[in-house]
Amino acid sequence: MVNKLRRELTPKQERVLRVLEGFVFERGYAPTVRELGTLLGIASPSAVFKHLTSLERKGFLKRDKGEVHLPGAPSFFESRVRVPLAGQVAAGSPREAFDVSGEAMDVPIWMVGRRRGNLFCIQVDGKSMIDAYIDHGDRVLLERTNTARSGEMVVAQLEDGSVTLKRLRQEEGRTFLVPENPAFQPIEVKEARILGRVVGVLRKY
């Protein structure tokens, strides 16, 4: 039956499904539309979405609240844990401080791993990390830490107390907080207090 159904797919749909299956079984979660488009070399999100709709109509996947499920894939999304939501953090110009929300949100347990109890979420305000697939309104899962390696995405507090989400870059004794959007400039800092390291991104479409 599966082989018969696969013959009903167009070559493009077959390729989309193959790439999607490989991503899910390797990483344990489905890619975003942007990520899938990048892997396929398709620039238009609407074209990617059209392929996903066709695959869903033919029974090769299911979509539920923005999450893609493949038949036969492990049920990664069934078990969840509650993680504190710290509030909004600027992905643009640094903001004075966290907006403390006092709320919490459900996070798939596979994203938590051994870090349970040492995680928090923020909501992104701004588009300075858009090329890292972190958009305005996304919720980012972070591990509490005061250290990070060069190249990791972090939430950092600057000397003036402002807080921002950027990629940490250290080179030749200099430290930069680097955006992932050419419209924004890197911030060179003498000292930045690391508040958390990015673990994952949660998004609904």
Say whether 12 is catalytic: no
Instruction: Tell me the sheet residues that pair with 163.
Output: 95, 157
For 137, the enclosing helix (H) or strand (E) is none
List Cβ neighbours of 79 (8 Å cut-off, separation of 6 or more). 108, 109, 110
CA distance 189 to 47: 41
Reply yes or no on whether 79 is catalytic: no
* DSSP structural state of residue 193: E
- For residues 146 and 194, is the Cβ–Cβ distance under 8 A? yes
Name the pairing type of β-strands 119-125 and 80-90: parallel
Catalytic residue among 62, 166, 190, 204: 166
At residue 69, what is the residue type? Answer: H
Which residue in 128, 150, 190, 204 is the catalytic one?
128
- Count helices and strands (H / E) in the chain: 5, 11
Q: To 5 degrees, how large is the angle CA 22–CA 56–CA 74?
A: 45
Token pair 């955006």 is found at 179
Burial of residue 167, with CB atoms counted within 10 A of its CB: 0-12 exposed, 13-18 middle, 19 or more buried: buried
* Active-site residue set: 128, 166
